[in-house]
Structure 1
Amino acid sequence: MRILTWNINGVRTIPQYHPWNTFKTHEEILNNLHADILCFQGVHKLLQKFAPVSLICDSQEMKSSRQNLPKAVGVPPSYHSFFSFPRHRSGYSGVAVYAKLASATPLKAEEGLTGLLQPNPPLLPSECISQPDAYPTQTPECEELDLRSLDSEGRALVIDFGLFVLVAVYCPNDGTDTDQRIQYKADFHTILAARIRGLVGEKREVILLGDLNACAAVIDHAEGPLMVARAQEEGIEGEEGFWLTGARKWLRDLIADNGGILVDVVRRFHPDRKGMYTCWNTKISARESNYGARIDYILVTPGLLPWIEAADIQPELKGSDHCPVFIDLRDSLVDNQGREILLQDVLGVTREAEPPRLAAKFWDEYKQRLLSTFFTTKTSSHPSDQQHPASPDASGIASSSSLSASLEMQPSKRKLDAIQPQSASQTLSKKPKSQQEKPQVSLDSTKLKKAVKGQTSLASFFAKPTAQSSSSKAVHAEKRKTTDKNDIIVIDEDHAPPSSSPTVQSDLDADYQFALKLSQEPIPSASSPLNKNLEAKAWGRMLAPPAPPRCVVHGEPAKSMTVTKTGPNKGKSFFICSRPVGPGYDAGKATRRRSEVDDQWRCNFFKWASDVRREEMTRKDTPD
């Protein structure tokens, strides 16, 4: 059995990458991840291909919701599925767990970590995973916390699979933020650790997995050694400089190697592997040089280690700025007494069993019948099938054929052909003979029904304009011409609007100077055979992109890029060093100490394309 976790909250979406873009359904994507239990974070990316366009437009930065989740994504035929969405804050979080029907059916399932998020009706005591005293609501360190608020962002699912309890989480990010969010992150870590300790206290085996948004060791961060060296220069001994971040310290203390209660399985299988990163900054193309961090983990209690036969990351799978992480469980295990224990037996649930009530298949959204089904005529290849009674699910509902017949529009007494213009009737000349020979109904006003007051008659759209209306239109046209002539506005230079930015103005100046230079060149007469060639060369020089400059440090041709961020510079081109980023790359004096710069990586070269073009003009104007 394979258990996989993947944060699909990347800048790119899964269906834009191969091989995911070759699959037509969400279930095909799940099947080709080759896992039995799949845990996703950033659930909104599941909508990008399979939801209607209107839903995608409404939730581009929203981590999905029950109303936005198509049934094909929410309830794939071969999987049990569970979701947690933010309660109030749109555009946030969202986690999902899929369990393959053929492999495992959960015993129990809960949303959140506190036990306060309840379905309707609430879970019975027999449906709860733990006893009341094992939840964070009963722990002293959580007494002062707003537990319901901490559990309202759709960041956790707790699912009981018999052999173990799966805790799938999406921890708040580790970036610098407001004091309020920093405190929220610390409080979330507190209740997460309390929930795990409560499960361990009940003698349960636990698998904690997901995007923890923190690093568990110096080796898990590309800049880790530089952070340690910088702290040592400031007098901080050992690796303590790396643990100044609260989230890293919390994760370090949770792992058994440092006295915690969980084991970092992937690191246990690959203790010395460097560059084992799971997340990269795609905005600076960091994945190309593997300049990233390991923040996606699968942590287990020590009692599960005998069941685990493999664990690793999958950086070759694209589709997000994260990569999947997985563990493989053995199909069987021999205990101390020599007895073989099958994995399916200790999971404890057969395929035929129903999943817990939290499963998406029980949502009201998926129980409702689509309105379109009431207006669809049922087709059958055998006439005898039409005589069968309706299915039990359709009891009390009129058949679609009878309903559509009752709603069918009655034919109008006035044929639409009677008011068709001549050109339209000509285009319909290929009608069947029975239709062509129908007599045309006269448009005599005495035979037409009187239009309702205030309502335009359909025939009026096909009537010839009267002389009065023609003269009225002529008057309006004359007024329009007069208005157009008077609509020319002269702007005084003293009152002209300012330029949007200096960089935009510099572009205009450069283009103006270049055009002025071209205008001063002697132009041959129209009869000259070189006229067309010179014109083509002139336009080619004006429209051609500037040649890439060379970066100062490496002397290599720079890479052209375009501003995509909304603002005054959007659409402008610029050049940067073409080398990839890496540990110690020059991110600028404000970010990187000069002593830490490693010249084998990208330098801080930057130049606007407009400046490059201006320099080219200057060189051409300067005599040799």
Structure 2
Amino acid sequence: MRILTWNINGVRTLPQYYPWNTFSSFNDILDALEADILCFQEMKTSRSGLTRITAVPPSYNAFFSFPIQKSGYSGVATHVRTTAAVPVKAEEGLCGIIQPKPPFSAEERISRLEAYPQRVIADGHEDDSDEEGELDYKDLDSEGRTLVLDFGLFVLINVYCPNDGNGTEERDKYKADFHKVLEARVRGLVELEGREVIVVGDLNACAAVIDHCEGRLMVAKGLAEGLQDEEGFWGKNVRRWLRAWMVAEDGTGGPMVDITRQLWPDRKAMFTCWNTKISARESNYGTRIDYILITRGLLPWVKAADIQPEVKGSDHCPVYLDLHDEIVDSSGAVIKLQDALGFKQGNPSEPPRISSKFWNEYSGKQRLLQQFFGKNVTPPSTGCTPSKPIALERSDNAPVPTSTTHASSGDVDIATPSSSRDLSRDTSMTDDDASTRPSPKPMLTQRLSGPSQSMDYASEGPSSSSPALKRKLTADTLTRSSLLKKQKQKKEQEKTPGQAKLSSFFTKPKNSNPSTATTSSSSKQKLTFREPDTVDSETIEIDLEADHRLAMLLSSQETDTLKPCGNETAEAKQAWSSLLAPMQAPKCLVHGEPTKELTVMKPGPNKGKKFFICAR
């Protein structure tokens, strides 16, 4: 297993750099880093600013902590590969104050109440002498600087410590208080609960002279000023705090082991941060302020640790820790890492509920904005709903099929048509069959070659299978119904205005009576397509000459409708003429005489503009 920490200096700017701009998604970027647990600092975004693929990568469980007040500032994130491990518990902040809704129960908390910094400092497990006032624990957890995840074998703390800032007393106190609370949180886990702890992140401090590019210069300057040994380097409080928190070379000191420096004790220029404004990375003129600190009990699991200065995209570089897949304890028993983590391959448990996958906007509880603008997706319907009411001729004594499919809107019954070779079979069908069989689209049948099928429109009535009284569709009936349909459409087009004409803006609007508008869609009409019966081919034969006459008649009617009206053309011409006519010169306000028009000829912004002055 590999644990990686990286200050990415903005999750939205990282994909703009090579090679990250060659990946199609944030999930691919996480995969390219080749780690199982990834801890990021300086996310510089908010919950609303995250995209879905960044907040919920498919291959990872993600946890975020954002600043409460400052948007686009600070922020940390921890991504855990779903096939490698699942955290047992997770919390935001160091003091347990930030709670989800509903708040954590006692079983969901990582520690007992007495192991949190408030009680640890109050009970004397940490130096509680605060000359400048009490600690504001809520304020210390409000900048989105810490995520705490419990993996069973260890507790992982992803932290982004405050930097030197603007050097004000307020920020200096905030930074010192934050370090005090961080140390108290670790002491509570180690001393009161006997847990193993891994602290990763940007601590914004150097732990040794070798970790700073100007460390030797600071020491030399201190010696010149009369200071002893390396006191010139340890002038800052944050460096002294970090040195006291770590295990010294002789085994004394604090509980945390700088595992990267322990594996590379004499390595120089092992820097993780550079000033990009002066292109200091090219010359490796930087500092080491990104760390992976572990407690002593995890040393047998350590396989390797190093920095990755070749990984670009930020002013920091990643630092990683590799753990063995299995170890042999003092009794000779083999302990597998996945067993120690409580991870079940193939059947992983759900992550803690502060994971981003349980956020309302990604868990299906809250609708996305794009759903209000996307196309409406409706389930397939077995019925057929006509878009407009259809005027049809009804047979006086036509039978109605018993098998009908009810449409979703409107009472339209459509019988299932069958092919010509199945005309002799019984056309009756039960309601169950009608609900299970797909309803085909009604088709107008033409005679192309060979025998044709007939289409019969019948009114609702009792079921009957006798076709003796059925009226057959002939060429004259088709011609007459088509003419009526065309005339009706022509009248509707004349009643319904299309594009507004220019002349309508200069004429008095006509009175319209809204009560005359009728909606034929409210009237429900039964429409039934019957199965064609066996009829004489001579009767159903459509006369081609009648079709030709009908086509010529319709063509002449459409040509007449396209001819513009003489009155409308004259009105439009007059309207355009009045609209485009040159502006008449106004009268002088003093003399009441027409003014004269002049044009500005002087070079400048008003050149070419026209104006009117008195003619006198």
TM-score bracket for the superposition, by shorter chain length: 0.5 to 0.7
Residues 1:101 and 2:91 are matched in the alignment: no
**Contact persistence 1:94–1:153 (CA under 8 A):** yes
Residues 79-135 of structure 1, C-alpha deviation per residue, up to 9 Å, x if partnerless? 100000000123320000000000011100000001111111110010000000111
Deviation by residue 1:296-339 (Cα, 9 ceiling, x = unmatched)? 00000010011010000000000000000000011001111111
Q: How does 1:318-357 map to 2 (within 5 A)?
A: 318-350=312-344, 351-357=347-353
Tell me which amino acid in the other structure corresponds to 2:498.
K
Q: Deviations over 1:275-311 (max 9, x none)?
A: 0000000000000100000000000001001101000
Q: TM-score, normalised by structure 1?
A: 0.61
**Matching residue of 1:413:** 496
Q: 2:69 matched to which residue of 1?
A: 88
Cα pair 1:78 1:100 within 8 Å, conserved = yes
Q: Select which of 347, 350, 363 maps to 2:359.
A: 363
Mark the CA change 1:227 to 1:485 in structure 2 (over 3 Å): closer, same or farther: closer
Question: What are the within-5 Å matches in structure 2 for residues 361-510 of structure 1?
Answer: 361-366=357-362, 367=364, 368-373=366-371, 376-377=374-375, 386=380, 413-416=496-499, 464=576, 466=578, 470-471=582-583, 481=600
Alpha-carbon separation, structure 2, partners of 1:8 and 1:438: 73
Provide the C-alpha distance between the structure 2 equivalents of 1:338 and 1:304, rounded to a whole number of angstroms.
Answer: 17
Change in CA separation of 1:2 and 1:378 when aligned onto 2, cut-off 3 Å: farther
User: Post-superposition shift, 1:470?
Assistant: 3.4
Q: 1:416–1:437: structure 2 CA closer, same or farther, 3 Å change rule?
A: farther
Q: Secondary structure at the match of 1:76?
A: coil
Residues 415-463 of structure 1: per-residue CA shift (max 9 Å, x gap): 349789xxxxxxxxxxxx9xx989559699999xxxxxxxxxxx99x97
| Cα distance per residue 1:536-590 (max 9 Å; x no partner) | xxxxxxxxxxxxxxxxxxxxxxxxxxxxxxxxxxxxxxxxxxxxxxxxxxxxxxx
- 8 Å Cα contact 2:46/2:66 also seen in 1: yes
Does the CA-based 8 Å contact 1:36-1:100 persist in structure 2? yes
CA contact (8 A) 1:15 1:21 kept: yes
2:202 touches 2:289 (CA, 8 Å); kept in 1? yes
Q: Does 2:242 correspond to 1:251?
A: yes
Per-residue deviation at 1:146? Answer: 0.7
Is it true that 1:5 corresponds to 2:15 in the alignment?
Answer: no
From 162, 167, 179, the counterpart of 1:177: 167
Q: CA deviation at 1:478?
A: 6.5
Name 2:289's counterpart in structure 1: 295
In 2 relative to 1, CA 386–471 (structure 1 residues): closer, same or farther, beyond 3 Å? same
> Is the partner of 1:243 in helix, strand or coil?
coil
Percent sequence identity is 54
- Superposed, 1:27-66 pairs within 5 Å as 27-43=27-43, 63-66=44-47
Contact residue 165 and residue 171 of structure 2 kept, 8 A: no
Check conservation: 2:600, 2:606, Cα contact below 8 A: no
Q: 1:263 aligns with which of 245, 257, 260?
A: 257
- 1:221 and 2:204 aligned: no
Q: What is the aligned partner in structure 1 of residue 230 from structure 2?
A: 239
CA contact (8 A) 1:10 1:321 kept: no
Q: 1:342: how far off? A: 0.6
- In structure 1, the residue matched to 2:477 is none
Letter in 1 for 2:22: T
1:207 aligned onto 2:198 = yes
Residues 83, 316 of structure 1: CA spacing in aligned structure 2 closer, same or farther, 3 A cutoff?
Answer: same
Alignment counterpart, residue 282 of structure 1, candidates 276, 281, 287: 276
* Secondary structure in structure 1 of the residue aligned to 2:204: coil
SS in 2 for 1:244: coil
CA contact (8 A) 1:107 1:349 kept: no
Distance in 2 of aligned mates of 1:34 and 1:203: 31
Residue in 2 aligned with 1:529? none
Distance in 1 (CA, whole Å) between partners of 2:156 and 2:368 is 34
Instruction: Name the aligned partner's letter for residue 275 of structure 1.
Output: A
Give the Cα separation in 1 of the matches to 2:271 and 2:598: 70
Tell me the amino acid that sits aligned with residue 106 of structure 2.
P
**Which protein has the bigger helix share?**
1
Given residue 302 of structure 1, which amino acid in structure 2 is its aligned partner? Answer: R
Q: Is the 8 A contact 2:148 2:158 kept in 1?
A: yes
| Cα offset, 1:482, TM superposition | 8.0
Report the AA paired with residue 260 of structure 1.
Answer: G
Name the SS of the counterpart of 1:464 in structure 2: helix
SS of 1:317's partner is coil
Tell me the distance in 2 between the aligned counterparts of 1:477 and 1:328: 91
In the alignment, the residues of structure 2 paired with residue 26 and residue 345 of structure 1 have an alpha-carbon distance, to the nearest angstrom, of 30
Q: Deviations over 1:583-621 (max 9, x none)?
A: xxxxxxxxxxxxxxxxxxxxxxxxxxxxxxxxxxxxxxx
Change (3 A) 1:36 1:484: same
RMSD: 3.6
The answer to whether the 8 Å contact 1:174/1:214 transfers is no
Q: Are 1:149 and 2:149 matched, yes or no?
A: no
More off after superposition, 345-354 vs 312-321: 345-354
Amino acid at match of 1:216: A
> Are 1:418 and 1:443, in contact at CA under 8 Å, matched by a contact in 2?
no
Indicate how the Cα distance of structure 1 residues 75 and 486 shifts in structure 2: closer, same or farther if over 3 A, else same. closer
Rounded Cα–Cα distance in structure 2 between residues aligned with 1:161 and 1:282: 36
Aligned residues: 419
Give the corresponding residue for 1:533: none
Contact between 2:502 and 2:575, CA under 8 Å: does it hold in 1? no
Per-residue deviation, 1:14:
2.2
What one-letter code is carried by the residue in structure 2 that aligns with 1:359? Answer: S
